[in-house]
Amino acid sequence: MRLYLHYSLSAICFFLLISESFAQHTDLYGKVIGPDGDPLPYAQVNVMETTFASITDMDGNFHINNIPSGHYSIATTYLGYNADLINVTLIDGEPFKLTIKMNTDVTELDGVTVYGEFTKGQAKSLNEQKNAVSIKNIVSSEQFSTMPDRNGAEALQRIPGISIVRNRGEGQNIQIRGMASEYNQVQMNGTPMPGGEDSRGAALDFMSADIMESIEVKKTLTPDMDGGAIGGAVNFTLKDAPSEFTLRAITSGGKNFHADPFNDGWGLGQQNHSLYVGNRFFNDKLGIYATGSYYLTNRGTVLEEYTLNDDDQLTRKRWNDYDVRRERYGYNVGMDYQFNDNHIIRASYNSNFFNDDRRRGRTNFNYKYDLDTPDAPISSFTEDRETQTRAKRTMTDMFGLGGEHRFKSGLKLDYKATRIKTVIDEPDGTQYYFSRKLGTSHFDTMNPWDIDGTMALEPNNPLEMNKPVRLDTKENTELDHSFTVNASQPIRLFGETSTISAGYKFWHKDKVNNAQRFMMENTSPIYLAPGQFYRRDLRFTDAEFSTLPLGDPQENYEVKNQNYQADEIINSGYLMGDIQWTSKFNTLIGARIEATRNSYEFHEYDEDNGQYLRTLSDNSSYINVLPSINAVYRINERNMIKAAIAQGLSRPSFTSLIPREVIDDENFTKRLSNPDLQPAVSTNFDLIFERYTSNMGYFTVGVFAKFLENQIYTSKNFVEENGQVWEITKPENGESSHLYGFEVAYNKNLRDLNIPMLKWVNVMANYTYTLSEQELEDGRKVVMGNSPRDMANVILTYDNPKNGFMIAIAGNYRGPLLIDVADREDRDVYFTSQFHLDISASYKVNQQFSVFTQMNNLTNQMEIETYGNPSYDHLLHQTEQYGPTVTVGLKFEL
Looking at residue 851, its pLDDT comes to: 95
- What is the total count of domains within the chain? 2
- Same domain? For 379 and 509 the reply is yes
- Same domain? For 61 and 175 the reply is no
- Same domain? For 317 and 380 the reply is yes
Which own/partner pairs from 548-553 qualify as long-range (CB within 8 Å, at least 24 positions apart)? Answer: 548/469, 548/522, 549/522, 549/523, 549/524, 550/469, 550/520, 550/521, 550/522, 550/523, 551/520, 551/521, 551/522, 551/523, 552/520, 553/471, 553/518, 553/519, 553/520
140 vs 216: CA distance, rounded Å: 9
627 vs 333: CA distance, rounded Å: 37
Mean pLDDT of 558-582: 92
- Same domain? For 654 and 535 the reply is yes
The dihedral through the CA atoms of 208, 211, 214, 216 has a sign that is negative
- Same domain? For 282 and 208 the reply is yes
687 contacts: CB under 8 Å, gap ≥ 6:
641, 642, 643, 644, 702, 703, 704
Q: Which CATH number fits the domain that encloses residue 162?
A: 2.40.170.20
584 vs 577: CA distance, rounded Å: 16
Cβ-contact 86, 47 below 8 angstroms: no
- Same domain? For 147 and 24 the reply is no
Question: What Rg, from alpha-carbon coordinates, does the chain have?
Answer: 29
Cβ-contact 677, 729 below 8 angstroms: no
Q: Which CATH number fits the domain that encloses residue 72?
A: 2.60.40.1120
Q: Is the pLDDT of residue 152 over 80?
A: no
757 contacts: CB under 8 Å, gap ≥ 6:
none
Q: Is residue 114 part of a domain?
A: no
370 vs 299: CA distance, rounded Å: 41
Lowest mean pLDDT of 141-145, 297-301, 681-685, 877-881, name the range. 141-145
- Same domain? For 78 and 183 the reply is no
Q: Is residue 535 part of a domain?
A: yes
261 contacts: CB under 8 Å, gap ≥ 6:
302, 321, 453, 454
Task: Calculate what percentage of the chain has a pLDDT beyond 70.
Answer: 93
Cβ-contact 890, 875 below 8 angstroms: no
Q: What is the mean pLDDT of the chain?
A: 87
Q: Is residue 111 part of a domain?
A: no
- Same domain? For 549 and 598 the reply is yes
Looking at residue 123, its pLDDT comes to: 76
The sheet carrying 212-218 orders its strands as 136-140, 212-218, 232-238, 184-188, 191-192
Task: Calculate what percentage of the chain has a pLDDT beyond 90.
Answer: 49
pLDDT band at 169 (very low <50, low <70, confident <90, very high): confident
Q: Is residue 7 part of a domain?
A: yes
Looking at residue 750, its pLDDT comes to: 86
Residue 76, classified by CB atoms within 10 Å of its CB into exposed (0-12), middle (13-18) or buried (19+), is buried
Domain boundary residue, one of 39, 74, 106: 106
86 vs 724: CA distance, rounded Å: 80
- Same domain? For 723 and 783 the reply is yes
Which own/partner pairs from 720-728 qualify as long-range (CB within 8 Å, at least 24 positions apart)? Answer: 720/309, 720/310, 723/368, 724/668, 725/307, 725/309, 725/315, 725/316, 725/668, 726/668, 726/669, 726/670, 727/307, 727/667, 727/668, 727/669, 727/670, 728/669, 728/670, 728/672
Domain boundary residue, one of 106, 139, 174: 106
- Same domain? For 237 and 375 the reply is yes
What stretches of 34-82 adopt beta strand conformation (E)? Answer: 44-47, 53-55, 61-67, 70-77
Tens digits of per-residue pLDDT, 577-626? 999 999 899 999 999 999 999 998 888 888 888 898 888 888 889 999 99
290 contacts: CB under 8 Å, gap ≥ 6:
276, 277, 278, 331, 332, 333
Q: For the chain, how are helix, strand and coil distributed in percent, rounded to 5?
A: 10, 60, 30
What stretches of 257-313 adopt beta strand conformation (E)? Answer: 269-281, 286-308
CA distances from 380 to 28, 369, 451 (A): 85, 7, 15
871 vs 772: CA distance, rounded Å: 16
Mean pLDDT of 374-387: 93
Q: Is residue 117 part of a domain?
A: no
Q: Is residue 798 part of a domain?
A: yes
Mean pLDDT of 637-658: 89
Tens digits of per-residue pLDDT, 432-447? 999 999 999 999 999 9
Q: Is residue 670 part of a domain?
A: yes
- Distance from the first to the final alpha carbon of the chain: 52
851 vs 853: CA distance, rounded Å: 7
Tens digits of per-residue pLDDT, 386-398? 999 999 999 999 9
Strand 724-733, strand 669-672: pairing: parallel
Picking from 710, 729, 737, the residue whose alpha carbon sits closest to that of residue 822 is 729
Mean pLDDT of 213-236: 89
Cβ-contact 655, 639 below 8 angstroms: no
Q: Is the pLDDT of residue 264 over 70?
A: no
Q: Is residue 138 part of a domain?
A: yes
pLDDT band at 734 (very low <50, low <70, confident <90, very high): confident
Tens digits of per-residue pLDDT, 67-107? 888 999 999 988 878 888 899 999 988 889 999 998 864 44
Cβ-contact 881, 860 below 8 angstroms: yes
β-bridge mates for residue 463, sequence order: 528
Domain boundary residue, one of 73, 90, 106: 106
Question: Length of the chain, please?
Answer: 894
- Same domain? For 74 and 161 the reply is no
Q: Which range of residues forms the domain containing residue 444?
A: 130-893
- Same domain? For 147 and 84 the reply is no
Check residues 199 and 596 and name the one with the higher pLDDT: 596
